[in-house]
Structure 1
């Protein structure tokens, strides 16, 4: 049995090594010509090496002429010659063979390839527009390309940073030719036709190379040695056999697990590509049409634009909001991109990208399949989907998530972001019903050292606007205005209806916040038509008390969102009833006063919002 086992192991490892030797021969480093760049893993030559010798997207080829240049072909048929490959820094040096790189730029789609521009170049990415101008036109801030120009005309390129955001435009006599995706300014502004690309894929090309020559030598010696040494030889051979057997088992397991490891590598690479795609990116309008499949799947319509479902890849869905073309659109677009472009919080919707292509503007968000909280907040007769279908534990989690998102906007960013549009319609729910705040079109930015902002006009939705936004008699608009809006939203979640409901059977229930305050203050049964399990009544009472604290008329009486989070996370018995924000209606006998009778208390300094 020992001899059979040894022979079987010998045959197995020999065949394994033979197969690996063939594989190594096929995938060995090569060149297109003797002084050309070395082509090695993760690259491979299409004509001379099988697919497993490199990663997908890393295929190179050789020109058929006698010069034998090494060619890298990027998506949309952009052909570049390879000057050098640095496998240590994972960079490839490429150039345009015709010394006219701008001619290929309209077809360049670097995001669809496994490459990106080298790190030293990504700090100056910009989109460019190409114009055909008369050669008599002077160029003030554009770049001229003789290789594209004709007699009497010259082709000029202008950065979208100037043409779109600053407002500097080329001469009116110039005719626009095409736009490019974001590329480094050095590629456009430099006369050199070469640049660097880098790749992020891990450099892992592993193979097992194990021999058994020592074992074979001992095996032969065991049958040819003298009798006096056979016992020693047998012992050494048995030890060698055990060592080789362990090595063989290890090699066998390695090759059995190799398929799983390759699948894991593919999974990681797919994740890295998808993660890179989630960085805020500037898209052209042509990209937007491609992402939305020509605006095929409409999922929403609002006052400021239409929302379409789109797809960046097979696994990444996005919501694309095409903004309406009206005069306020510019400010709202800048607010949205500036506010959301640097925000990374689990309770704030992620801005994946944006489009500013002339007068056409769009915003690209992560896609949240459960839509807005607006369709879950009210119990509508005849509809099974209502706020009660979520359950009170989930509703409390949604309320806490919204509070944490607003607190992050107020305290977690470099500048304080005041949303001014907190309402159910602007709270989106992901696949697990986790809330994410969206729509920053009305947001204001201010320094953390100040609390208040100046506003030329009221902004927001009636029913959620804080009193000080409508009238300065209550103080100045500040981050406390978001606290008021959150309080109204929280009371709507609990009540399962709009706070002002003209359909209420009892006229005293028309304004729900005042009605629920009076019942809690008198320790009456709330009498709301809600399904409450045992032990949940305290949770509901806590939500109502927090909401009533948030809707105090004067900003100084409202808690900060940080304190609101602590109140929602604390015990049910830690809260006390707030002052009555509706006292004026109780003490006014003539019906002429609708404002709480107390002196104006505001220690908030007015400052202009920061842009």
Structure 2
């Protein structure tokens, strides 16, 4: 129903435009065809319009029938005004309104040009002369003189003498006129001569285009008078506004009618959808996931509108079950296991409920399409908060909060290993898979690589390594280090702790030497020498927390699984007030003398191999 609104609107627009009355399309009192008397302009000066005219570009009837309203363009692009009986034209600088024009003389001698005017044929109003009583006299002087009452006329001065203008009301006795003689007089000026040597504003009374300007119409000659006409497009614009008003009103009516139908339709849809929501809430409270169809997944994600991220096994989208419940939907690749294994894992994950493990809300197994639906966590992953850089503006978390996050992750791993009906080995513990809710409570996510085994069995054999480089335990690569077991997750957690301490990847591929590349070795060397870790330390208590997390991380990343503490001991160390003791060198190779004495010295555990 929503898609019909634009179609109805366009149909109505075409109808309204096509049925407009022909008489309205050609409003009266407007020049037909192109407007030959429209504004014109010389390249460098203001637009020229009635009562002025450019005879070279416009018909004579476009301007007022007076010689001093005819303008022209100079070769340099200036607009020129030639007044009667003046030896040279004046340059038009502006036409500010429909009653005045501003002109200037390049030779700075306007008063001398105006003194020969024939006022009987002059179109401009000179009645303001009497306001100033300005009747200057010109006098040439053979010697340079200076007086505030004398204005030097540069346009008349010669190398052998200077010409000055003296106002008629000046007292001659106060002037240095020893080397001067009277030459002539100027009968009128609109302002004192010193103020108008270069530029003057000329004002006319007739024709008066004020009424036309007030109505936003054009002024045109009509015999000896004027008339006002609408500019081209004026009536059309008014007509278009009227049509637009009709269209908008009709459109609003259609929108209201459509909205009412949409609301009624949505109520019917919401009623059916609410039944599914209630079913979901019932299953959610019972800690069991809901099975969705592919169409349900498309509706929940609004046709996969918001993409949250891309993983190795699929793409994650943001979804919404209701106005208050948001989810993250991970669409899995088709190669992710077979149908029975997928459903079996979903049913197992659906029984997991722990504050530090992301909760599965539902799943989709619709033909070849498979998806996992998890609770949505707004703060995304831990990765964006601990790896600072130019492309990561998120603030660094406090050390107290980092400690709480580390403890929460350890408790989540402990629950996976000991708290479920079956032991769950994650095999991909890393910052990217630790999600944070709005209170920064950590939740372990992404069980795409997880393995399920009996709680009585402690080790598992694998035909191929699994995990992310930099976090994979050595025994996952080579059985020379021991059997794959829950201690493999402890190793990954230790690497996670050291990255939280350093705020950087443990392996720096851009470093110049190996000592810079491997951060855990750098940490061990500093702590073993009794040196402090000066890493993002802001307060006094930060040293203790950073050292504690670093030492626990070093305990967890021993090469041999038997030398690593179980996750329960890791939780106890994190909860303890005191800093744990330093471990022995965790990077001992299998051929060193210390290996035999270290291997399994503290955390000796018999690991039974579980066939994959």
Q: 1:585 to 1:327 in 2, by over 3 A?
A: closer
Report the 3-state secondary structure (helix = DSSP H, G, I; strand = E; otherwise coil) of the residue aligned with 2:389: coil
Q: Using the TM superposition, give the Cα deviation of residue 301 of structure 1 relative to its aligned residue in structure 2, in angstroms.
A: 1.2
Q: 1:425 aligns with which of 417, 424, 432?
A: 432
1:80-104 per-position Cα deviation (integer Å, ceiling 9, x unaligned): xxxxxxxxxxxxxxxxxxxxxxxxx
1:527-581 per-position Cα deviation (integer Å, ceiling 9, x unaligned): 43x13311221111110110000011111111111110110010124x1111101
Residue 493 (1) aligns with residue 509 (2): no
* Contact 2:317-2:330 at 8 Å conserved across structures: yes
Quote the residue 1:577 is aligned against: 582
* Contact 1:410-1:479 at 8 Å conserved across structures: yes
Q: 1:322 aligns with which of 320, 331, 342?
A: 331
Report the 3-state secondary structure (helix = DSSP H, G, I; strand = E; otherwise coil) of the residue aligned with 1:583: coil
Residue 311 (1) aligns with residue 341 (2): no
Quote the residue 1:112 is aligned against: 276
Residue 437 (1) aligns with residue 444 (2): yes
**Counterparts of 1:109 and 1:296 in 2: how far apart (Å)?**
20
**Counterparts of 1:502 and 1:468 in 2: how far apart (Å)?**
23
Matches within 5 A, 1:336-355: 336-355=345-364
Q: 1:316 to 1:110 in 2, by over 3 A?
A: closer
**Counterparts of 1:509 and 1:597 in 2: how far apart (Å)?**
29
Q: Using the TM superposition, give the Cα deviation of residue 508 of structure 1 relative to its aligned residue in structure 2, in angstroms.
A: 2.1
State the TM-score, normalizing by the size of structure 1: 0.52
**Counterparts of 2:398 and 2:598 in 1: how far apart (Å)?**
42
Q: 1:278 to 1:76 in 2, by over 3 A?
A: farther
CA RMSD in angstroms comes to: 3.0
Matches within 5 A, 1:170-569: 276=285, 279-326=288-335, 328=337, 333-334=342-343, 336-381=345-390, 383-386=392-395, 389-504=396-511, 507-528=514-535, 530-569=536-575
* Contact 2:330-2:373 at 8 Å conserved across structures: yes
Quote the residue 2:606 is aligned against: 603
Quote the residue 2:117 is aligned against: none
State the TM-score, normalizing by the size of structure 2: 0.52
1:321-362 per-position Cα deviation (integer Å, ceiling 9, x unaligned): 111122646587457514421100000000000000000011
**Counterparts of 2:270 and 2:524 in 1: how far apart (Å)?**
68
Q: Using the TM superposition, give the Cα deviation of residue 462 of structure 1 relative to its aligned residue in structure 2, in angstroms.
A: 1.0
Q: 1:504 to 1:335 in 2, by over 3 A?
A: farther
**Counterparts of 1:477 and 1:307 in 2: how far apart (Å)?**
30
* Contact 1:332-1:442 at 8 Å conserved across structures: no
* Contact 1:406-1:561 at 8 Å conserved across structures: yes
Quote the residue 1:34 is aligned against: none
**Counterparts of 1:327 and 1:350 in 2: how far apart (Å)?**
20
Structure 1 gaps, min length 5: 1-73, 79-107, 117-181, 183-271, 589-594
* Contact 2:533-2:546 at 8 Å conserved across structures: no
**Counterparts of 1:586 and 1:537 in 2: how far apart (Å)?**
35
Quote the residue 1:188 is aligned against: none
Quote the residue 1:242 is aligned against: none
Larger radius of gyration: 2
**Counterparts of 1:298 and 1:403 in 2: how far apart (Å)?**
29
**Counterparts of 1:299 and 1:580 in 2: how far apart (Å)?**
41
Q: Using the TM superposition, give the Cα deviation of residue 582 of structure 1 relative to its aligned residue in structure 2, in angstroms.
A: 1.9
**Counterparts of 1:552 and 1:384 in 2: how far apart (Å)?**
34
**Counterparts of 1:461 and 1:331 in 2: how far apart (Å)?**
26
Paired residues, what number?
342
* Contact 2:379-2:435 at 8 Å conserved across structures: yes
**Counterparts of 1:350 and 1:400 in 2: how far apart (Å)?**
19
Structure 2 gaps, min length 5: 1-266
Report the 3-state secondary structure (helix = DSSP H, G, I; strand = E; otherwise coil) of the residue aligned with 2:553: helix
1:356-414 per-position Cα deviation (integer Å, ceiling 9, x unaligned): 0000011110000111112122121464314xx21111111111100000000011011
Report the 3-state secondary structure (helix = DSSP H, G, I; strand = E; otherwise coil) of the residue aligned with 2:459: coil
Report the 3-state secondary structure (helix = DSSP H, G, I; strand = E; otherwise coil) of the residue aligned with 1:532: coil
* Contact 1:335-1:443 at 8 Å conserved across structures: no
* Contact 1:280-1:352 at 8 Å conserved across structures: yes
Q: 1:113 to 1:479 in 2, by over 3 A?
A: closer
